[in-house]
Structure formats: structure tokens, C-alpha cells
DNA sequence: ATGTGACTCAAAGTCCGTG
DNA sequence: ACACGGACTTTGAGTCACA
């Protein structure tokens, strides 16, 4: 695991964010590894994000959005 | 400062986010202190966010959005 | 009412590996 | 290609005192 963080463990907003990211990634036929690489994040970390295990900070949101060729808001809201 | 983090020092996206938060807060005639209190964050920390000094994570974005009675996406995009 | 420096500490995030 | 884990370093979270 990316570390069981008691403070945000299973926080709905993170779960939702992770699902959304996975959805967007899969809709482009990309692997976790390729997106992780493209965004400059660790593959293991990125996997954890999709599983809602990380309280991702803004700069990483941006990196992920960029790697998926979308905007940050698209990570939170369906167009 | 709340700590000069080399990784995000003066990052445009954080500066922009901070300005946006300040704008939204002031448009409601609220003080940093009241919003900080409402969001459960420290006044000093919240001030730093408005100055773009913090690479805020999702959970805190949510708290701030809630205290301002808006959505997370509104923090990134003008409606 | 706000900005800032100094500080602690838990968590963010990396790097190595496994099935 | 992905989930998961251990051990590790860096940084975000949160608080305080003072200008």
C-alpha cells in the first residue's frame, strides 16, 4: 500500500477522484505505468491514487491532468 | 513563510489558486480568520494558501470550498 | 486582521521489490 | 499491466509568536 493514512483513509472524495482518473485513463487506452511516466510520478504512487489512497496535492493533480491531456476541473467534474 | 518548498516555490497554479480563493472570500466579505475557522484550518495556514505558498491537497481544497460554500471546481475555474 | 519565520510530525511521494 | 508491501526521503499539515 501507499501507506494507510488514518486521517484520510477511504475518504469519499479521494475514492471518487481515483475512480474518475482511472476512468479517464482507461478511456484513452493507457496503462497506469505510461500515465505515471508521462506525469513524472511513481507508478506505485499513481496506482494508489486511483485506489483513493492518496490525498493528492494540487501540483500532482496538474501533472496527472496534463498526462491525460485534460484540465484539473475535469478530474472533479463530468463535462 | 510556511516553508519554502523547492518543488512548488512560486508555482503559477498555486499563485492562481490563492488569488482565486482570496477573491471568492473577499467577494463574500469574509476575513481570513473566519474562513479559516469555518474550514477547520489554522488562520496562518489559510493565509499562506491565499499567498500561493502551499501545495494544498484535495482534502483541504474540499474544506476550503465548503467554508466558502462553493465547489472544488469553482476554485480552479471561473463559472 | 494579516504576513512571516521557526518549528514539529504525520503524510506525501520515491524506489526497491513481490505475486 | 496491476496490486501491494517495506524502507526510505521530502514536504504538506498544522501551530505559535511576533511584527
Return the number of other C-beta atoms located less than 10 Å from residue A71's C-beta.
Answer: 16
The answer to whether some atom of strand C lies closer than 7 Å to the beta carbon of A6 is yes
Q: State how far residue A74 is from chain B, nearest Cα, in angstroms.
A: 8
Per-residue pLDDT of chain B (79 residues; tens, 9 = 90+): 555 556 676 789 999 999 999 999 999 999 999 999 999 999 999 999 999 999 999 999 999 999 999 999 999 987 6
CATH of the domain at B65: 1.10.260.40
Average pLDDT, chain A: 90
Q: Is the pLDDT of residue A16 over 80?
A: yes
Res B74: pLDDT: 96
Question: Rounded CA gap, B53 and B3, in Å?
Answer: 8
The answer to whether some atom of strand C lies closer than 7 Å to the beta carbon of A26 is no
The length of chain B in residues reads 79
Query: Is residue A50 assigned to a domain?
Result: yes
User: Taking the model in full, what pTM does it have?
Assistant: 0.91
Question: Rounded CA gap, A23 and A1, in Å?
Answer: 21
Res B17: pLDDT: 96
Query: Is residue A47 assigned to a domain?
Result: yes
Q: Which nucleotide is nearest to A3 (CA to C1')?
A: C11
Query: Is residue A64 assigned to a domain?
Result: yes
Query: Is residue A4 assigned to a domain?
Result: no
Residue B51, classed as helix, strand or coil, is: coil
CB contact under 8 A, B59 and A17: no
The answer to whether some atom of strand C lies closer than 7 Å to the beta carbon of B39 is no
Query: Is residue B56 assigned to a domain?
Result: yes
Q: State how far residue B51 is from chain A, nearest Cα, in angstroms.
A: 15
Query: Is residue B61 assigned to a domain?
Result: yes
Question: Rounded CA gap, A63 and A35, in Å?
Answer: 10
Query: Is residue A79 assigned to a domain?
Result: no
How many separate domains does chain B show?
1
Query: Is residue A25 assigned to a domain?
Result: yes
A65 is in which domain, residue-wise? Answer: 12-69
The CB-side HSE value for A9 (13 A sphere, CA atoms) comes to 6
Q: What is the CA radius of gyration of chain B?
A: 12
Interface of B with A (CB under 8 A): 7-8, 11, 13-14, 17, 55-59, 61-62, 71-73, 76-77
Amino acid at each position: 500500500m501507499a501507506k494507510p493514512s488514518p486521517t484520510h483513509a477511504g475518504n469519499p472524495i479521494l475514492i471518487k477522484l481515483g475512480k474518475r482518473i482511472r476512468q479517464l485513463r482507461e478511456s484513452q487506452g493507457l496503462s497506469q505505468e505510461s500515465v505515471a511516466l508521462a506525469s513524472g510520478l511513481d507508478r506505485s504512487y499513481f496506482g494508489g491514487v486511483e485506489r483513493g489512497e492518496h490525498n493528492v496535492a494540487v501540483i500532482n493533480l496538474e501533472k496527472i491532468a496534463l498526462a491525460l491531456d485534460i484540465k484539473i476541473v475535469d478530474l472533479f467534474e463530468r463535462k
